Amino acid sequence: MEYPGSYILAIRRILLFVLLTLFTAPLQWLMLKLGSRLQRRIPHWYHRRVTKALGIEIVVCGHPSSAHPTLYVANHASYLDITVLGSLLKCSFVAKSEIADWPGFGLLAKLQRSVFVDRRRGSTGNHRDEMMRRLEAGDDLVLFPEGTSGDGTFVLPFKSALFSVAERRPHGRPLPVQPVSIAYTRLDGVPMGRYLRPFFAWYGDMDLGSHLPQALGMGDLTVVVEFHDPVSLDDFESRKALTTQCQAAVSRGLAAALSGRSLALPEGEALPDATTAPA
């Protein structure tokens, strides 16, 4: 596939990303050491500026949960999902344990206060306990229950084992679970079809080192993020039923956004610092 982007634009955006990271990372490290409340705010501030530096416009549909803690469950297509959601939520992410050892990105994940989980069979109880500890502390968590990233066109099956934390009741109350759809819809304002989406979606055996500069050199990207109605395990007969409902909501939201049917928040009702425009 011939690359239609600009490597000059990619280099400029990478330099901006590096400068932002070099400024923010030491500050976040210090806040973590001091136990400051700013450790929750700084990553949010950082991701908001990274999205602008990388030319990402975010169209928001719906509202994030007003309850804290909340477990957000979203489809996963790209490493850009982290920055997109991080710019909208003061949250931490649930990540695969091997990401902690990735050069560069592993450090950023730790500074984000990510919860690293081992997804091998038999380790569910351990990572559930760690997630519960964070939820009890009032932290909102983002989980990608597909267990891997997809091509951005379809939602892969959600793994019900990753919803096991929803069986717990932080502070004796049901844990709100909010499905979230993420869709990469437009490039420079033009609807983006399946030909261009692999330049942003990172999945399979794609090499991150070559994929990242290509993605950043493609132009200005529009991402539609839809927050669906929060639910809890108390609303369903089983964890599997909760998983099925969340997957269905995310799938519908993704399909609607890719077809242009999603509606952005009315003027004046946008999330703080989020860009709204007709999808």
pLDDT reported for residue 123: 57
Domain assignment present for residue 154? The answer is yes
Q: Residue 135's domain spans which residues?
A: 7-258
Residue 237: pLDDT above 60? yes
Domain assignment present for residue 112? The answer is yes
Domain assignment present for residue 265? The answer is no
Percent of the chain whose predicted confidence (pLDDT) is above 90: 59
- 27 against 260, higher pLDDT: 27
pLDDT reported for residue 275: 40
Q: Work out how many domains the chain is built from and give that number.
A: 1
Percent of the chain whose predicted confidence (pLDDT) is above 70: 90
Domain assignment present for residue 71? The answer is yes
Domain assignment present for residue 14? The answer is yes
Helix 80-88 to helix 38-53 angle (10° resolution) is 120
pLDDT reported for residue 171: 85
Q: What is the CATH number of the domain that holds 205?
A: 3.40.1130
Residue 266: pLDDT above 70? no
- 50 against 214, higher pLDDT: 50
Q: What's the mean pLDDT when you consider all of the chain?
A: 87
Read off the pLDDT band of 204 (50, 70, 90): confident
Query: Quick count: other Cβ atoms within 10 Å of Cβ 32?
Result: 15
Domain assignment present for residue 277? The answer is no
- CA torsion 262→265→267→273, rounded to 10°? -120
pLDDT reported for residue 52: 96
Domain assignment present for residue 201? The answer is yes
- Residue from 233, 228, 96 nearest 160 by CA: 233
Domain assignment present for residue 270? The answer is no
- Residue from 9, 152, 12 nearest 80 by CA: 152
Read off the pLDDT band of 185 (50, 70, 90): very high
Question: Tens digit of pLDDT for each residue in 130-153?
Answer: 888 999 999 999 999 998 888 888
Q: What is the pTM of this model?
A: 0.88
